[in-house]
Amino acid sequence: MNPYDIKGPYNPNPPKPQPKKRPLELGMEQLAEVSHIIAVASGKGGVGKSTVAVNLAITLARQGYRVGLADADVYGPSIPKMTGTEGEMPDVEVYDAMGEPLPEEAEITEDCKEIMVPIEKYGVKWMSIGYFARPEQALIWRGPMACNALKQMLLQVKWGELDYLLIDLPPGTGDIHISLVHDIPLTGAVIVTTPQAVALADVEKSVNLFRNPQVDKPILGIIENMSWFTPAELPDNRYYIFGRDGGRAMAEKYGLPLLGQIPLVQSVREGGDEGVPAALKEGPVFDAMSAAVEMIRMPE
């Protein structure tokens, strides 16, 4: 081409080429040293997913495993409160395009990568969008943004070497779930339910989500929560207020192991509200979670 063949009027101050805005590129690098990724799911809200996820993480840590938990509930994150880490702020490390740590005085440019450092407490690494929002702030995000935020909570986090990374999924079986369980190299899922019929109808949806041919991830088993009520003053009594053995029946129906039954105990709710999870102490939750760990224990 003739270099003098300039079209249009001469512009002494040509516009500078703008750096292209890169779409959010999140690779799997931060998961490279994670041995097993387990999603804790339920079709229905309020059945105790987060309670199970937190107590399972703590039980694994008490048994000597290196554990992390990602709160994928970007609309209603409850991990900071349940673990007593509310108000903490994860450090953010910045790396340049070559993956080298960016010197403090250097300018953060478009191709830098920011990696969040999880909060450590009770021997577990926790990450939640709740650390970045004020507790009273409602997170109203549209689908794609929620999806991105959720992937960031998993993929942009310095997990390091872990034996288990648990993901506390938001309730439901919608697009967010399909996209997440499709894209993340999950080892498998644990489904939480109560023995109640309405909760069980939603278990079917969760089972179908993971068994859907496009997703096709193994379901490790079902945990039945709130299986019976035991008052503190009558520790041997069991009241089946949400029905009896619904989770067991569901497990049988789908050929899945029943990983455990957790009673409804006041101290579990109190522990959740106070940020001191029940599995830190001996008791029915630690026992049930230990039994579940026995059943899902995986090769190193």
Hunting for tokens 């105990």 — which residue is that?
Answer: 265
Contact with ligand ATP (CB under 6 A) among 30, 39, 51, 176? 51
Report the candidate in 167, 253, 175 with the shortest Cα–Cα distance to residue 212.
175
Nearer to Mg ion, 192 or 256 (CB): 192
Instruction: Report what 187 binds from Mg ion, ligand ATP, none; CB cut-off 5-8 Å by kind.
Output: none
> Is 55 one of the binding residues for Mg ion (CB under 5 A)?
no
Among 4-12, 27-35, 46-54, 148-156, the segment contacting ligand ATP (CB under 6 A): 46-54
- Could you tell which of ligand ATP, Mg ion, none binds residue 30, using a CB distance below 5 to 8 A set by kind? none
Partner interacting with residue 226 (select from Mg ion, ligand ATP, none; CB below 5-8 Å by kind): ligand ATP
Q: Could you say which residues in the range 158-187 bind ligand ATP, by CB under 6 A?
A: 171
130, 137, 160, 212 from 69: Cα distances, Å:
13, 22, 13, 25
d(CA 57, CA 35): 14
**Location of structure tokens 């230990």:** 290
**Residue 81 sits in the site that holds ligand ATP (CB under 6 A):** no
47 touches ligand ATP by CB under 6 A: yes
- Binding status of residue 42 toward ligand ATP by CB under 6 A: yes
Positive or negative, the CA dihedral 134, 140, 141, 146 is positive
Binding to ligand ATP by residue 206, rule CB under 6 A? no
Query: What token pair was written down for 15?
Result: 């516009």
Q: C-beta of 115: minimal distance to ligand ATP in Å? A: 26
- Pick 118 or 277: Cβ nearer ligand ATP: 277
Total binding residues toward ligand ATP, as defined by CB under 6 A: 20
Q: Is 246 in the site for ligand ATP (CB under 6 A)?
A: no
CA-based R_g, the chain, Å:
23
28: Cβ–Cβ under 8 A, 6 or more apart, which residues? 155, 185
**Beta carbon nearer to ligand ATP, 40 or 115:** 40
* Lookup: tokens for 95: 């790396």
**Which residues, including other chains, have CB under 8 Å from residue 291's CB and lie 6 or more apart?**
259, 260
Among ligand ATP, Mg ion, none, the one that 47 touches (CB under a kind-dependent 5 to 8 A) is ligand ATP
Number of residues that bind Mg ion (CB under 5 A): 3
d(CA 190, CA 176): 17
- Tell me which residues in 211-230 interact with ligand ATP (CB under 6 A): 225-226
Comparison of 47 and 155: residue with beta carbon closer to ligand ATP: 47
Asked if 50 is part of the footprint of Mg ion (rule: CB under 5 A), the reply reads yes
How far, in Å, CA of 256 to CA of 249, rounded?
10
Closer to Mg ion by CB, 155 or 192: give it: 192
- Cα-to-chain-centroid distance, residue 281: 23
> Of the ranges 15-23, 139-147, 150-158, 268-276, which one interacts with ligand ATP (CB under 6 A)?
268-276
Name the H helices within 35-137.
49-62, 79-82
- Round to whole Å and give the CA distance between 79 and 12: 57
CA distance 98 to 65: 32
Shortest Å distance, C-beta 206 to ligand ATP: 12
In the complex, the residues that contact ligand ATP under the rule CB under 6 A are: 42, 45-51, 73, 76, 78, 171, 225-226, 262, 264-265, 268-269, 272
